[in-house]
Structure 1
Amino acid sequence: MNRFLITTFAIPSLFGLLQSCSVNFPSKDTAHTEQTHQMNHNSADSSHSDSMMSNTSSHAANHSESSTHSHSNQTSDTLSLTKAQLTKPAEIIVNQPQTFLIDIQDQAGKSITKFDTFQEKLMHLIVVSDDLEVFNHLHPKYEGDGLFKVEITFPKPGNYTLVSDYKPFEESEQISVLNAQVPGVKLTSSVKIDENMSQILEDTQVTLTSSQPVLQSGQEVTLKFNLKDAKTNQPINDLKPYLGEQGHLVIFKQSNPLSKADYIHAHALKNTPSDEVHFMTKFPKPGTYKVWGQFNRDGKMITTNFWLKVS
């Protein structure tokens, strides 16, 4: 599984952190956090990546009973409970695994030491390149005293955005956005928007449909992923839970630069057909969006991506 790296925003210093780690991290950045909808998921902490790095140019219905939801972060008046500080290597090198540290603090600068698990992890880390060609979903390892550690490999030079999603103990879910710039010569190629709504990933064909013929901003919509066996063209019957649900969905609006307002995180609805995974969401603004759906087919991760136009 490919790995990938992360972020940057402001700059506080973290000498105590540096003294406690064997990795040399001279660069530190801080991002403030927005509060989102509260979620209640129980499980265990883990530190590995659960998704394939996507580096390709491409590739809703009745409301099912569900305890899940979708949220975006377009509002600026939500309460910020925490801030995240990123410590990164002195030099980020393309295609080389490197360790990054994320320190979660309250607004007074005190480390937050206790976190609730949700979707089976203590932290979810989404990393995308600004052109949305590269995607990774990681789960940093909690080291204690508010510090998370993650190893990521950047596949190409350019700017990257990290979205850190976590839940302090008995508090609302928090989202922090950071950035990282990977040096090197960037290829001057335009982003290719593939409007094909079906793709084959190894032995699985994934088709995306919507409850609305035309996607409209501000309106709830159900995105439906249909999964078939690519060889037999029959519905699959071996879909397994991923992070405690039938699937996972991340959406970014195509923007430059990417911001917290461009990020949407949706959760799978319950009581859907065995070969389908549905997500209820809402696109806050008109524009072009890229969606990444993640599914577990009998222990093998499938990460699919599609472009959507929203009026």
Structure 2
Amino acid sequence: MTLTTYFALTSCFASEATNAASTVAASGDDHDGVYVYSCVMHPEVTSTKAGDTCPKCSMNLEHTGRPAGNGKTYRMDFSAQPAQLAAGQPATLSFRPMVQGEDQTPMPLAVVHEKKIHLIIVSKDLSEFFPEHPKFKASGRYDLPFTFQTGGEYVLYQDYTPAGAGHQLGRQEVTVAGPPKPAVEFSKDQMQWRANGYQATLAFDKPLTTGQLLGMRIGIKKNGQPVTNLDKYLGALGYVVVISENTKQYLHMHPNDQTDRGPNISFNTSFAQPGLYRVFLQFNHDRQIRTGNFTIHVAPAAT
């Protein structure tokens, strides 16, 4: 198994909110620059300025009570058993969140969207998508039994939040031994998904270009009729994961607050980099989790 690990958060929202806050720490609010504020719907969005709003859903960021800038660097330790992953062979994927330089110190995680770790496994060509939630063990690690069905290159992402700290993202690339399936090339926009009588349609309120806030809507039908009785999953009517073609840009989004239960699910988002992206949707209907997917192209901002 080959392994490459990245620890930087790739969500453009988190970096923009944090960087903006660092220049306005002395605005007059006694808490400005001292405590972290975050979005209850999008915990990766943080600021140190009271009164800031979330660029994804426009909600006011909430005071978390945790000090800003604890100076710690976090990383996700990953191992697999067996170490050489192979297609068709059951394996255990194991994760341990750690503070750099404090490897033996247990690090508790906060529950965010009903789970402590949200694990996303995708094939490198982004044709396969596996959302998982590893379980905590007495060893201090979070383990997941998993069997890769085909060989090839895969990418693992972990969304997690250390208790008292901000949102983190772990990323690893793994090679699975065995015959790979033929690679799928995505080149055209795919704004509609269909399966088992369901249809989901993706739409944006503006042309897809970088550097602007976009309203994103997904409308869901079953057998041609709007679905108005969606059930919640992970605390919301659904969620979306967006991954760039090179797998380096990653965004995990939960929807805006809404009083109805469909047929539309609304999000706010933006894109820092142009290019092709795959969009993965999960929603809950008739007591079953459904997974849809789309393909979009984001153009550079007009100059």
1:122–1:283 CA distance, 2 compared to 1 (3 A): same
Q: CA deviation at 1:194?
A: 4.6
Cross-structure match for 1:192: 186
Deviation at 1:190, TM superposition (A): 5.0
Query: In the aligned structure 2, how far is the partner of 1:184 from the partner of 1:133?
Result: 18
Q: How many residues align?
A: 249
3-state SS, counterpart of residue 239 of structure 1: coil
User: Would the aligned equivalents of 1:64 and 1:271 in 2 still touch at CA under 8 Å?
Assistant: no
Write out per-residue CA displacement over residues 84-110 of structure 1, whole angstroms, 9 at most, x where no aligned residue.
Answer: 111112321213331111111101123
2:220 match: 227
1:308 and 2:299 aligned: no
> Is the partner of 1:186 in helix, strand or coil?
coil
Compared CA separation, residues 187 and 139, structure 1 to 2 (3 A): closer
Partner SS, residue 265 of structure 1: strand
1:212-248 per-residue CA deviation (whole Å, 9 max, x = no partner) reads 1x20011111221101122xx2211220011001111
Q: Distance in 2 between matches of 1:161 and 1:238?
A: 34
The one-letter code matched in structure 2 to 1:210 is F
Query: Equivalents in 2 of 1:192, 1:247: separation in Å?
Result: 24
Deviation at 1:144, TM superposition (A): 4.1
Q: Is the 8 A contact 1:111 1:145 kept in 2?
A: no
Question: Within 5 A, what are the aligned runs for 1:59-98?
Answer: 66=59, 81-88=73-80, 89-98=82-91
Runs of 5+ in structure 2 lacking a partner? Answer: 15-37, 42-54, 62-70
Q: Distance in 2 between matches of 1:64 and 1:32?
A: 26
Q: Indicate whether 1:123 and 2:111 are aligned.
A: no
Task: Give the unaligned 5+ runs of structure 1.
Answer: 1-5, 10-29, 42-61, 69-78
Provide the identity percentage: 27
| Aligned mate of 1:294, from 282, 285, 295 | 282
Residue 276 (str. 1) matches residue 271 (str. 2): no
Q: TM-score, normalised by structure 1?
A: 0.72
3-state DSSP of counterpart to 2:108: coil
Q: Distance in 2 between matches of 1:67 and 1:303?
A: 30
Report whether the alignment pairs 1:265 with 2:259.
no
1:113/1:39 Cα in 2 relative to 1: closer, same or farther (>3 Å)?
Answer: farther
Deviation at residue 254 of structure 1 after TM alignment: 0.3
Judging changes above 3 Å, is the alpha-carbon distance between structure 1 residues 122 and 64 closer, same or farther for their aligned structure 2 residues? closer
Aligned alpha-carbon RMSD (Å): 2.6
Q: Residue 93 of structure 2 aligns to which amino acid in structure 1?
A: F
The 8 Å contact of residues 39 and 172 in structure 1, kept in 2 or not, is answered as no
Residue 113 (structure 1) aligns with: 107
Inter-partner Cα distance in structure 1 for 2:2 and 2:289: 25
Tell me how far 1:203 sits from its aligned partner: 2.6
Q: Which has the higher contact order (CA 8 A, sep 6+)?
A: 1
Q: CA deviation at 1:204?
A: 1.5
SS at match of 2:144: strand
**Cα deviation digits, residues 102-122 of structure 1 (max 9, x gap):** 111101123433111000001
CA deviation profile, 1:23-74 (whole Å, cap 9, x unmatched): xxxxxxx653549744557xxxxxxxxxxxxxxxxxxxx9866579xxxxxx
User: Which of 3, 11, 16 is the matching residue for 1:8?
Assistant: 3
Equivalent residues in 2 for 1:113-262, closer than 5 Å: 113-144=107-138, 146-187=140-181, 189=183, 191-212=185-206, 214-230=207-223, 233-255=224-246, 258-259=247-248, 262=249
CA distance in 2, matches of 1:272, 1:128: 32
How much does 1:195 deviate? Answer: 2.5
- Tell whether the 8 Å contact from 1:159 to 1:182 is kept in structure 2 after alignment: yes
**Aligned equivalent of 2:94, options 101, 124, 131:** 101
Q: If the length of structure 2 is used for normalisation, what is the TM-score?
A: 0.74
Greater CA radius of gyration, 1 or 2?
Answer: 2
